[in-house]
Amino acid sequence: MTPVDPVEEFLSMLAVERGAAANTIAAYRRDLDGAADAIGDLATADRDRISTLGEAWRDLAPASVARKASALRQFFGFAVDEGYRDDDPSEALPSTSRRRNLPKVLDHSEVEALFACAQEDAQGDRPLAVRTLALIEMLYGSGLRATELVSLPVSAVPRDAPFLTVTGKGGQARMVPVGTKASQALSRWMAVRDGERSSFVFPSRSSHLTRIRLYQIVKGLAAKAGIAPEKVSPHVLRHAFATHLLEGGADLRVLQALLGHADIATTQIYTHVDSARLVRLVNERHPLAARAASD
């Protein structure tokens, strides 16, 4: 089996999820290849090696350094989210002034619209529609990475226990909860799935569904549900899983375990709590709020 190249996976994501033009992808490739020439494999380079890029880029214009650093920050963020790295070493980059941007967020009404569309399509038990419902249930209901979902083996599907055993990059295994709706959708898919000889839950010819095809399915469903396709991707649904759990009161350490993050700092970057909720929390829970109410 050909080893997965994280850089190629990242460039494919740019093309599919963000609709990046060929020239843009070529520019990212040049920046990433140039960095790899200087420090070695980007998926395994440590912070000390990454910090030497300042010397390698010393003769470049500030704008060029900023562009190259931005490309690497985005790659490192992708590498962490997809399990190719356990840490985000972006702080070691030269002239780094900002943390990587948070992913786009879907609000609850958009998630509901997405699921309403998927459930309506799946009413007739058409295999592809049932598969789409199972895919988004697993992305939003269990917070799986795209790669973890498409490569999910049949042996991981629970019979009685409401958990999946997911093995991420580097052989790191974790238990992932499967909610009632996700379990029902998965059972429906397994009943109509065409691929009894395949060892994958979501088979495709001789292997499994590709990440690119998963992106296309999710974006197609978004368009049908009346949501701008550029707002929705498998990663955005994973982020919505984390965001909405955190909004509901989930502990950050629990969320770290569910997402499969080795470092809780990654979870803090990945999750998002809206400012309105924070203001409401202060108003409701701070001791001064109680005093003000009694005055």
Quote the CA–CA distance of 196 and 154 in Å, as a whole number.
10
**Catalytic residue selected from 145, 188, 208, 219:** 145
Q: Report the candidate in 97, 93, 96 with the shortest Cα–Cα distance to residue 32.
A: 93
Phi and psi of 217, rounded to 5°? -60, -45
Q: Is 104 part of the annotated catalytic residue set?
A: no
The conformation of residue 135, written as its DSSP 8-state character, comes to H
Q: Is 169 part of the annotated catalytic residue set?
A: yes
Contact 94, 35 (CB under 8 A): no
**SS3 state at 254:** helix
Q: Is 219 part of the annotated catalytic residue set?
A: no
**Catalytic residue selected from 131, 169, 188, 219:** 169
Q: Is 145 part of the annotated catalytic residue set?
A: yes
Quote the CA–CA distance of 168 and 260 in Å, as a whole number.
8
CB neighbours of 192 closer than 8 A, spacing ≥ 6? 125, 127, 130
CA distances from 41 to 6, 86, 172, 176, 237 (A): 10, 15, 20, 30, 29
**Catalytic residue selected from 28, 84, 140, 270:** 270
Q: Is 235 part of the annotated catalytic residue set?
A: yes
Q: Is 18 part of the annotated catalytic residue set?
A: no
**Catalytic residue selected from 100, 131, 235, 239:** 235
Quote the CA–CA distance of 211 and 12 in Å, as a whole number.
9
Q: Report the Cα 156 to chain-centroid distance in Å.
A: 20
| Catalytic positions | 145, 169, 235, 238, 261, 270
